[in-house]
Structure 1
Amino acid sequence: MRFHADLHIHSKYSRACSKDSDLAHLTRWARHKGVTLMGTGDFTHPSWFGLLREGLVPAEPGLFRLRDDLDREVARTLPSSVASAPVRFMLTVEVSTVYRRGGRTRKLHHLINVPGFEEAEALNRELGKIADLGSDGRPTLGLDSRDLLEITLNSGEGSYLVPAHVWTPWFGVFGSKSGFDTVEECYGDLSEHIFALETGLSSDPEMNRRVSALDGYRLVSYSDAHSPPRIGRETTVLDTDLDYFAVLRALRTGEGYEGTVEFFPEEGRYHLDGHRKCGVRLEPEETRRLGGICPVCGRPLTVGVLSRVEDLADRPAGVRPAGDTSVSEGLVPLPEIVGEILDVGPTSKKVVGEVDRLVAALGPELRILQETPVGDLESRLPRLGEAIGRLRRGEVISDPGFDGEYGVIRLFAPGEQEAPTLFDTSALKNGLKDRHVG
């Protein structure tokens, strides 16, 4: 069974997350987007753990589904095109560790997955000895990353840890501010138990492949959704049984791992270097020329993902490791595309209504973006077929993100939509920026 998995999300109990991030809304939006396997997020939080116990029932081995009465209520809010799509949950949590190692403060985020409530309870008991788990859905622990991995492995057979958004400056294992240069340096004698890495919104597998030391890891992508509409902005594509242990085998061995759906990395918040408050955004070579110092305020720049990849890269872009047949596909969320066409914001009522009509007619958003014939799209909304055709060909215009500021991906050049010949894309192609600069 081929399906999309999104195993990095947050509940309403995480700071700065939507109050709608509950099981019903997560299920509804998973169907709307076309995501089959969802993470629960935040299972260490006592209140959310109780709601998970109450609202989920066992499904396939290691997976859960929404309770029948709750599921019927969700189905009533959706069009028939997506109302009955299967959605399964895996027990997941993101954990933050803050500690001193090698004379530096390390601040790292990790994704933990467990196959059942018994294993989750065992993990919660141990982590509860270290921190107040009720303070935040993403707990912060004064614990070495290696020791968190040990506690995870000891919680039960099948429990595993994936380093989160590995290149993010502040909280990634390879981050410029508080990370390491290798997985082994971070996780020590237990590093052999790390077999997958989350690329994060500001990088993609193509960038990661420039570092040959990462060849042995499955590169996964998830949304890190802080609200239900963000579900599925990045996913990992699997072709396995819908089963926790089948997913685990795919990530360990690569068999059944198909690839990822990606943000264009320029849209991520930390793709380039800079200082947001100073209005300074820099390419890696400019940062090196300035010695990593902001030319406006004279303080150290926030060195982004592209620079950090280049620091550790030992081969050029475009090299594929032997035997790697996975595919990564860059997508732009459908509301952003419709918003660009209608010249309004992606969360406006006009866009929401139009996207809902498209989903009712054509199926979930990911199917629309990846599979629906462009002619069918054009008949539903003028310019949509052209926009998604360009997206599928990678013909995008990027305004890269930096220092916590999201980038912008556009499909039409300024004024192009008013041009007499909409389908002449030569102007767009001539104005394209290279996706991976430097």
Structure 2
Amino acid sequence: MALSSYFADLHIHIGRDMFNKPVKITGAKSLTLSNILIEASRHKGMDLVGVIDSHVPAVQSELRELIADRGARPLADGGIQYERTTLILGSEVEVYDSLCQGPMHVLCFFPDLESMKAFTEWLKERVTNIHLSSQRYYGTAKQLQYKVKELAGLFIPAHVFTPFKSLYGKGVKRSLTEVLDHDLIDGIELGLSSDTKMADRIEELHPFSFLTNSDAHSLAKIGREYQKMHLESPSFRELSWALHQIGGRKITANYGMNPLLGKYHESVCLNCTEPVEEGTICENCGSDKWVKGVADRIGELADADTYPSRPPYVHQVPLEYLPSLGPKTLEKLLSVFGTEMNILHHASKQALKEVVSEKLAEAIITMREGNLQAVPGGGGKYGKVKLP
């Protein structure tokens, strides 16, 4: 058995279905299933992508067309291969049962189209509109977990620290066991405003693998965050084994934005987005309304005295975030190096300098090493990167 490295982004939305009807209301119109697979394979260089609006019947219809006429093929170990990329079928569900302090999003993944269709049939009786993304589910979180496991699926709480619609932001007061079955969780998605070091301050998260995904609402955002995995091949079964570290499969690195760049990292004034201390009056505008940042929320929950061994978490931003790297420059880089993953991970500094300026080549290498500096964000406003 030979294991190799593969890149995975497991949280990508559908903007429009094959009939041009909206799925994720805030998603780009160009964010169709076909376009996602083409972008992931040909331009991003992603080996595994999780499309988390696969519960929508029209998305399943498009997938059947891809299998019948356009080269996609189901894999024996789960997942559907299109060119270099394996599609993992998923659904993002909003849970708000009587035990939740507020709504939280979770990701449910299934091995094949048949199990995804069975989940759709079950879910459509428990949501208002099965044709839209991230719908409010009427049932308990544990009932949802039981159904996912009945269908041989994976259950992963999504962007767990964001102030809105997340496990620790709104879903629970202190512990995930208030609403979820600990033993039926397959991993934890961190979100843009936190990283491994921050999350491991909470001891109950230590047993779980951490995922870093893009939550892409446009084609350009695919791969905004991702992970490198050690697998025999990109498939659903291998993904499941990597999350549970079976047979040498595992996550070997997380690549994500510096938490300072996340739009909910700091606590800020709700009115003017200036940083504020919790419970104080904003010195800038005088408002007493504020949004608690991820850093402060984790500080409330922190209880760990020791920390587990984790894969490296490399602070990185999408290439488009780098100042002076516009669309034409990115096109030049892709024409030479093929995919964004090749640019980010494999191109030498000398090779980069033959295509772009020395300053930009240096910025890419600095980012590869996780050393790019950041200016904090908060209150819905992203931070910014500083070039060396």
Structure 2 counterpart SS, 1:239: strand
> Could you say which residue in structure 1 is the equivalent of 2:363?
387
Aligned with residue 275 of structure 1, among 269, 282, 285: 269
Aligned with residue 163 of structure 1, among 154, 157, 168: 157
The alignment status of 1:121 with 2:110, answered yes or no, reads no
Shift in Å, 1:398:
1.8
Shift in Å, 1:54:
2.2
> Could you say which residue in structure 2 is the equivalent of 1:21?
31
Conservation of the 8 A alpha-carbon contact between 1:108 and 1:145: no
Conservation of the 8 A alpha-carbon contact between 1:221 and 1:236: yes
Equivalences for residues 394-409 of structure 1 within 5 A: 394-409=370-385
1 CA distance for matches of 2:173 and 2:111? 29
Cα 1:203–1:248, aligned 2, differ >3 Å: closer, same or farther?
same
> Could you say which residue in structure 2 is the equivalent of 1:436?
none
Shift in Å, 1:261:
1.0
Q: Which has the higher mean CA deviation after the structures are superposed, 257-266 or 225-234?
A: 257-266
Q: Give the letter aligned to residue 4 of structure 1.
A: F
1 CA distance for matches of 2:171 and 2:51? 27
Conservation of the 8 A alpha-carbon contact between 2:316 and 2:372: no
> Could you say which residue in structure 1 is the equivalent of 2:344?
369
1 CA distance for matches of 2:58 and 2:5? 33
Aligned with residue 62 of structure 1, among 49, 61, 78: 78
Conservation of the 8 A alpha-carbon contact between 2:97 and 2:138: yes
User: What TM-score, normalized to structure 2?
Assistant: 0.88
Conservation of the 8 A alpha-carbon contact between 1:197 and 1:220: yes
Shift in Å, 1:235:
0.7
> Could you say which residue in structure 2 is the equivalent of 1:100?
98
Aligned with residue 49 of structure 1, among 47, 60, 77: 60
Q: CA RMSD in A?
A: 2.1
Equivalences for residues 9-408 of structure 1 within 5 A: 9-12=12-15, 13-31=23-41, 32-56=43-67, 57-66=73-82, 86-101=84-99, 104=101, 106-154=102-150, 156-157=151-152, 159-175=153-169, 177-187=170-180, 190-241=181-232, 242-253=234-245, 255-257=248-250, 258-282=252-276, 286-287=277-278, 291=279, 294=282, 296=285, 298-315=287-304, 320-321=307-308, 324-337=309-322, 340-341=323-324, 351-382=326-357, 383-408=359-384
Query: How many pairs were matched up?
Result: 367
Structure 2 counterpart SS, 1:100: coil
The gaps in structure 1 that reach 5 residues or longer are: 67-84, 343-350, 413-438
2 CA distance for matches of 1:279 and 1:139? 29
Shift in Å, 1:148:
1.6
1 CA distance for matches of 2:110 and 2:173? 26
2 CA distance for matches of 1:230 and 1:170? 20
Q: Percent identity?
A: 27
Conservation of the 8 A alpha-carbon contact between 1:181 and 1:312: yes
Conservation of the 8 A alpha-carbon contact between 1:169 and 1:303: yes
Shift in Å, 1:409:
1.6
2 CA distance for matches of 1:39 and 1:210? 28
2 CA distance for matches of 1:246 and 1:392? 26
Conservation of the 8 A alpha-carbon contact between 2:74 and 2:112: no
Structure 1 counterpart SS, 2:313: strand
2 CA distance for matches of 1:40 and 1:394? 27
Cα 1:292–1:110, aligned 2, differ >3 Å: closer, same or farther?
farther
1 CA distance for matches of 2:119 and 2:282? 43
Q: Give the letter aligned to residue 38 of structure 1.
A: V
Cα 1:173–1:279, aligned 2, differ >3 Å: closer, same or farther?
closer
User: What TM-score, normalized to structure 1?
Assistant: 0.79
2 CA distance for matches of 1:191 and 1:315? 18
Shift in Å, 1:145:
1.7
Cα 1:281–1:135, aligned 2, differ >3 Å: closer, same or farther?
farther
Shift in Å, 1:292:
5.5
Structure 2 counterpart SS, 1:308: helix
Conservation of the 8 A alpha-carbon contact between 1:180 and 1:186: no
Shift in Å, 1:151:
2.0
> Could you say which residue in structure 1 is the equivalent of 2:20?
none
1 CA distance for matches of 2:330 and 2:141? 42
Cα 1:107–1:25, aligned 2, differ >3 Å: closer, same or farther?
same
Structure 1 counterpart SS, 2:174: coil
Conservation of the 8 A alpha-carbon contact between 1:23 and 1:55: no
Cα 1:139–1:53, aligned 2, differ >3 Å: closer, same or farther?
farther
Shift in Å, 1:294:
4.7
Q: Give the letter aligned to residue 364 of structure 2.
A: I
1 CA distance for matches of 2:173 and 2:10? 24
